[in-house]
Amino acid sequence: MDAVPLFSRAQPLRVIGALLSLAVGALATGALATGGLATRAHAQSASTAAATPQPSGAGQVRLLVKSADGMPLVGAQVRLAGGTALFESDERGMLTMSRLPAAATWLRVRRIGYRPDSVQVTPQDRQPIDVTIALERVAVDLAAVRVMGRREIQGPMAGFYKRRATGSGRFFTHAEIDKRNPALMTDLLRGIPGVRIDSRLQGNDVRIRGSRCAPLVWLDGQGLFASDIDLDGLDPLTFEGIEIYSTASVPVEFLGGQRASSSCGTIVLWTRLGEARPRRTPTRSRGELSPAAQVAAMLEQLKIFTADDVDVVAHVDSLNLVRPVYPDALFDEQVPGRLLAEFIVGIDGTVIIETFSAVTTTHAELVDPVRRALSTQRFMPAIRQGKAVQQVVQLPFVFVPDSTSKRRRR
């Protein structure tokens, strides 16, 4: 699919000045970022330039944008020399530019935190050409957040994973639920050994291990003892984890005590905190800015600052560090991974999660856990001239497998 310009020539150019400043002359004179994320000079624009007609022709260029260490760069902005239309690399670092004239031209490539660069291409009529460019990182990275297996999970899901490791009961993580994509809770439970779904006119009844009564249901650590729960009234996609136990395997914390009996089995539900529904990767409409483009535009408008612009940089509140959950597929296979996250920290220390993007990542499965962790992570805001200001931050995450996990599951 052809890349869609982020801006039409009829839109104001001031907003996208941060993305248009690269020039071949600037490369020759060494006007490059050093330290921090990107210098303010990189955000200056040619906002007064008149819009020029888009190139037309039959040539096509497929461009791969990578970091110097070979990882695809997401959200890199590209334009033709002398042109105004911006194109952006996707999650594979790829973009396609079509209808190019069959003549030598320069592609100018930039990404916040990386040294801008250019590559000369000569499109051919009706014959696509493949080009690769690698950008050198110039930002000074913050200390990485290290995720050591699942040793340091916090909150209610810490107990979930601890019980899951014992092998007692049946567990569903959100990744497993999302993969199955059940319409009803009973669709998810159907087929589990020992679980029976009885269909009735008024709905479906769940029975465990041949019992004649409904299982005891717990929601976020609270027992729902008042009456039978219509499980199909709950959207399974809104849960971070689900535990199912027969009578003999119910953990002591879910027995119910004198208030209720777990003799008919127990189902434990853990909601996705702060998110009623799982967040799907959005499909942008034509002309809509990506998070990376939003950040660059706000930088040009002086609405946000880089680490070079502030007196005290924004940094993680180390006393309340929220680590992402190691994705199931990678954790089970002991696969390490890395991700560089970009986002804006507001003046109150919260992450403006709409600006989150993964600049680079080894595995797509890491994106959602990191985004979710950042949505609740607190930062100490950046300080400029004695006042808290918004700052763009690029924070590395490193996932290290727990070498003992497989041995514990055997």
Write out pLDDT tens, residues 146-162. Answer: 999 887 777 778 889 88
pLDDT of residue 69 exceeding 90: yes
**What are the extents of the domains in the chain?**
14-135, 155-271, 288-407
pLDDT at 43 over 80: no
Tokens standing for 52?
Answer: 């020029």
pLDDT for residue 47 is more than 50: no
Q: What is the pLDDT of residues 275-318, one digit of tens each?
A: 444 444 445 566 678 999 999 999 989 999 999 999 999 999 88
Report the topology of domain 288-407.
TolA/TonB C-terminal domain (3.30.2420)
- The backbone torsions φ and ψ at residue 331, rounded to the nearest 5 degrees and listed phi first, read -65, -45
The answer to whether the 155-271 and 288-407 domains have the same CATH topology is no
Question: Phi first, then psi: what are they for 99, rounded to 5°?
Answer: 55, 40
Tell me: the pLDDT tens digits for 199-236? 888 789 999 987 888 899 999 999 888 667 889 999 99
Fold of the CATH domain 14-135: Immunoglobulin-like (2.60.40)
Tell me the pLDDT band of 49, cut-offs 50, 70 and 90: very low
| Residue 168: per-residue pLDDT | 87
CATH of 155-271, one of 3.40.190.150, 2.60.40.650, 3.40.50.300, 2.170.130.10: 2.170.130.10
SS3 106: strand
Q: Are 161 and 150 in contact, with CB atoms under 8 Å apart?
A: yes
Does the pLDDT at position 10 exceed 60?
Answer: no
The top-scoring range by mean pLDDT among 4-8, 18-22, 47-51, 116-120 is 116-120
Would you state the torsion angle of the CA atoms of residues 332, 334, 335, 339, taken in this order, to the nearest 10 degrees?
Answer: 80
pLDDT surpasses 80 at 24: no
Instruction: Find the mean pLDDT for residues 52-77.
Output: 84
Q: How far is CA 73 from the centre of its chain?
A: 14
